Amino acid sequence: MFVRLLLLVASLSIPGASRAEETTAEKAGFAPKFTIYLAKGAANACGVNCDRWIAVEGEVDRDAAARIRRFLAGVKDTQRPIYFHSPGGNVEQSYVIGRLLRSRKAIARVGRTIATACAAGTQVDAACLKIKNAGGELEAELSTRGAMCNSACGYLFLGAATREVAPDAAMGVHNSRLVFVVRGHPPAQALADYRQRQMLTADRERAAFLAAMGINRELNDLIRTVKFETMHLLTRPELYRFGIDTRPLPETMWTLEKAARPYIHKTALERRDNGASFRMLEWRLFCENKDRARLMFVREFDEGAAGKSTVVMMAGADRFVAFGRYPARVGKYEVWSDTLASAAVKAVSAMPHLQVGESMSTSDGKAGLATFDIDTTGLEPAWTQLLASCPVATTSPRPMGPLPSVSAAPAP
């Protein structure tokens, strides 16, 4: 009997081998079986006016498609987004799930669901999995940072009508391999020929599936070059070029980072050269005291830019932050910084969008303003939490200290 597999999680028919792989999956932070449940978070937890989603996580096992079909049959809201966090698994099951998601016109995103009831555990321990599989809706939080949809997970993800991979999430691909049990003593050449025929069949099935999902054939060509033992993380230009995530400005929500000095963080990737490259943009909001905050804007330095630019952030006509013309250089990044009154931060966070504008002056004296919008989802609750830990204002401003290290999203 032959079973086609992908890297990270095997689904063998040999009980001992299967059990060993499940233990490995648990140690890696993934459940040994595909787990699907309803989750509910705070207001706008999964986007504007979105606080409920479907969580799917763990290994794509041999019964995953049937379980997901039964589960989704009971979910009438087909627009409830589905967040995936999986290392991969069974390819055939992923194809079936992918086609099911396409029939529902599903919204798929890469993200990790953290169930509140399992906060003290690992999210994949036996007690937590029992809670997740019990039915009902669980209180939870969402995080895209470090979330992944790798290997076979990518195929089912591609089935969705709307696909979003956050700047700090990842999707990995590689070729498949065949694992089989041999009975008797067939000739070695017969085995090699059979393996070759099965690999060609697998290639044709994958190419047909990707074409049916509207994905550029270049993805299939790439997958064939990546050995089973390795993994290729798709770059942002590849996600765009292959037709997986074609947003011109993918962005994260504003989230509170609980570091030694807490701050609020947001990342976006700006499409350039018609998708041939993307530029990393990052915002960090610190509190200096209860009356004043400091907003930092970090972006990759543009070696080809001529002249000096002024960067501003605007929330309507009467509220803006002007960063000025002289950013600090930190490696390949430039860092802008300015202060905001706490009242202004509160007012800005109530706006649905902020506008970022860059005015570039050139040697011939001409200037132009290029603008784009970013949303403020997550900023208001994050600022409320951050403000609670801020020191009381004093006559002397709190020193800013050295510039924080720049932690970019996955390389575009």
Encode pLDDT of 25-49 as tens digits: 444 679 889 999 999 999 999 999 9
- The pLDDT-based confidence of 122 (bands split at 50, 70, 90) is confident
Q: Is residue 277 over pLDDT 90? A: yes
Is 25 or 264 the better-scoring residue by pLDDT? Answer: 264
| Tokens 């595909």, located at residue | 34
- The pLDDT-based confidence of 280 (bands split at 50, 70, 90) is very high
pLDDT at 366: 65
Tell me which of 7-11, 62-66, 221-225, 356-360 is least confident: 7-11
SS (H, E, C) the chain: CEEEECCCCCCCCCHHHHHHHHHHHHHCCCCCCCEEEEEECCCCCCCCCCCEEEEEECCECCCHHHHHHHHHHCCCCCCCCEEEEECCEEHHHHHHHHHHHHHCCCEEEECEEEEHHHCCCCCCCHHHHHHHCCCCEEEEEEECCCCEEECHHHHHHHCCCEEECCCCCEEEECCCEEEECCCCCCCHHHHHHHHHHHHHHHHHHHHHHHHHCCCCCHHHHHHHHCCCCCCEECCHHHHHHCCCCCCCCCECCCEEECCCCCEEEEEEEEEEHHHCEEEEEEEEEEEEECCEEEEEEEEECCCCCCCEEEEEEECCCCCEEEEECCCEEECCEEEEEEEEEHHHHHHHHCCCEEEEEEEEECCCCCEEEEEEEEECCCHHHHHHHHHHCCCCCCCCCCCCCCCCCCCCCCCC
- The pLDDT-based confidence of 284 (bands split at 50, 70, 90) is very high
Output the pTM of the full model. 0.85
Share of the chain above pLDDT 90, in %: 61
Q: Is residue 84 over pLDDT 70? A: yes
Burial of 188 (0-12, 13-18, 19+ CB in 10 A): exposed
Strand bridging mode 52-57 / 82-85: parallel
Asked whether 278 and 237 are in contact (CB, 8 A), the reply is yes
Tell me which of 38-47, 118-127, 183-192, 246-255 is least confident: 183-192
Tell me which of 27-31, 56-60, 115-119, 222-226 is least confident: 27-31
Q: Is residue 206 over pLDDT 70? A: yes
Q: Is residue 68 over pLDDT 50? A: yes
Residue-wise pLDDT for 332-381, tens only, equals 999 999 998 998 898 889 899 999 988 776 566 666 778 899 999 999 99
Q: Is residue 24 over pLDDT 80? A: no
Residue-wise pLDDT for 159-202, tens only, equals 999 999 999 999 999 998 776 667 777 888 887 878 788 888 88
Tell me which of 108-122, 203-217, 231-245 is least confident: 108-122
- The pLDDT-based confidence of 254 (bands split at 50, 70, 90) is very high
Q: How many CB atoms lie within 10 A of CB 195?
A: 14
